Structure 1
Amino acid sequence: MNPHAEPPASLQGMFRTLWAHRHLIARMSQREVIGRYRGSTLGLMWSFLIPLFMLAIYTFVFSVVFRARWGTGEESRTHFAVVLFAGLIVHSLFAEVINRAPQLILGNVNYVKKVVFPLEILPVIQLVAASFHGLVSVVVLLVAKLLFTGSVPVTALFFPIVIFPLLVLTLGLAWALASLGVFARDVGQTIGLVTSVMLFMSPVFFPIQSLPAPLQPWMQLNPLTFIIEQMREVLVWGNGPQWFGLFLYGVISVGVAWLGFAWFQKTRKGFADVL
Structure 2
Amino acid sequence: MIGGNTLNRFTFMRWRHRELLLALIEREVTGRYRGSIAGLLWSFLNPLLMLLVYTFVFSVVFKVRWDTGSDSKSQFALLVFTGMMVFNLFSECISRAPGLIPSNANYVKKVVFPLDLLPGVILGAVLFHTLVSFIVWLIFHLLVFGLPPFTTLLFPLVLLPLVLFTLGLSWFLASLGVYLRDIGQVIGVLMSALMLLSAVFYPVSALPTAYQHWLYLNPLTLVIESSRDVLIWGVVPDISLWLGQLVGASVVAFLGHAWFEKTRQGFADVL
So what's the TM-score if we normalise by structure 1?
0.91
Match of 1:127 in 2: 123
Shift of 1:58: 3.5
User: Secondary structure of the equivalent of 1:117?
Assistant: coil
Number of paired residues? 266
* Contact kept in structure 2, 1:62 and 1:80, CA below 8 Å: no
RMSD, aligned CA? 1.7
**Equivalent residue letter for 2:239:** W
**Runs ≥4 residues deviating over 6 A:** none
User: Secondary structure of the equivalent of 2:138?
Assistant: helix
State which of 98, 112, 115 in structure 1 corresponds to 2:111. Answer: 115
Tell me: CA distance 1:77–1:39, structure 2 relative to 1, closer, same or farther (3 Å).
closer
Gaps of 5+ in 1: 1-9
State which of 48, 53, 57 in structure 1 corresponds to 2:53. Answer: 57
State which of 130, 135, 146 in structure 2 corresponds to 1:150. Answer: 146
Of stretches 115-124 and 139-148 in structure 1, the one that deviates more from structure 2 is: 139-148
Q: Mapping of 1:240-255 within 5 angstroms?
A: 240-255=236-251
C-alpha separation between the residues in 2 aligned to 1:159 and 1:72?
A: 21
Gaps of 5+ in 2: none
User: Secondary structure of the equivalent of 1:79?
Assistant: helix
Q: Mapping of 1:184-263 within 5 angstroms?
A: 184-263=180-259
Shift of 1:238: 1.8
Shift of 1:212: 2.2
Identical counterparts, % of pairs: 53
Any idea what the Cα deviations from partners look like across 1:24-63, whole Å, max 9, x if unmatched?
1111101100111111112111111111222233344444
C-alpha separation between the residues in 1 aligned to 2:37 and 2:174?
A: 33
* Contact kept in structure 2, 1:98 and 1:174, CA below 8 Å: yes
C-alpha separation between the residues in 2 aligned to 1:218 and 1:60?
A: 27
Shift of 1:190: 0.6
* Contact kept in structure 2, 1:102 and 1:178, CA below 8 Å: yes
So what's the TM-score if we normalise by structure 2?
0.92
C-alpha separation between the residues in 2 aligned to 1:66 and 1:146?
A: 27
C-alpha separation between the residues in 2 aligned to 1:46 and 1:21?
A: 29
C-alpha separation between the residues in 2 aligned to 1:15 and 1:213?
A: 42
